[in-house]
Amino acid sequence: MAQAFSDYYRGKTVLVTGHTGFKGSWLSIWLTHLGARVVGYALDPPTELSNFQVSRVAEHIEHIHADVLDVAQLQAAIDKHRPHIIFHLAAQSLVPRSIRLPRETFEVNIMGTTNVLDAALRAPSVQAVVAITSDKCYLNVGWEWPYRETDTLGGEEPYSASKAGAELVIQAYQSRGFQNATGRDTYLPIASTRAGNVVGGGDWAEARLIPDLARSIAEGQSVYLRSPSATRPWQHVLEPLSGYLWLGSRLESEAEKLVGGWNFGPADRVAAPVSVVVRKFLDAWGAQDTTVEEDQTHKVNEAMLLALDCNKAQAHLNWHANWLLDDTLAETAAWYRHFYNNEGADMFAFTSEQITRYTEHAREQGLPWIK
pLDDT digits (tens, 9 = 90+) for 84-93: 999 999 999 8
Q: Are 167 and 137 in contact (CB under 8 A)?
A: yes
pLDDT score recorded for residue 266: 86
Residue 148 maps to a domain: yes
Residue 297 maps to a domain: no
Residue 182 maps to a domain: yes
Q: Are 265 and 195 in contact (CB under 8 A)?
A: yes
Asked if the model's pLDDT at residue 301 lies above 60, the reply is no
Of 117-126, 217-226, 332-341, 344-353, the poorest mean pLDDT is in 217-226
Residue 249 maps to a domain: yes
Residue 223 maps to a domain: no
Asked if the model's pLDDT at residue 111 lies above 90, the reply is yes
Residue 253 maps to a domain: yes
Among candidates 64, 113, 65, 66, which has minimal Cα distance to 93? Answer: 113
Residue 294 maps to a domain: no
Q: Are 277 and 270 in contact (CB under 8 A)?
A: no
| Full DSSP string of 165-226 | HHHHHHHHHH-HHHHHHHT-SS---EEEEEE--EE-TT---TT-HHHHHHHHHHTT--EEES
Return the amino acid letter for 214.
A
* pLDDT tens digits for range 36-46: 999 999 999 98
pTM confidence score: 0.95
pLDDT band per the 50, 70, 90 thresholds, residue 269: low
Task: Report, in this order, helix, strand and coil percent for the chain, each rounded to 5.
Answer: 45, 15, 40
**Number of structural domains, the chain?**
1
Q: Are 90 and 73 in contact (CB under 8 A)?
A: no
pLDDT score recorded for residue 298: 58
Residue 272 maps to a domain: no
How far apart CA 359 and CA 239 sit, in angstroms, is 10
Asked if the model's pLDDT at residue 22 lies above 70, the reply is yes
CATH number of the structural domain spanning residue 257: 3.40.50.720
Q: Which domain holds residue 22?
A: 5-196+236-266+307-324+346-364
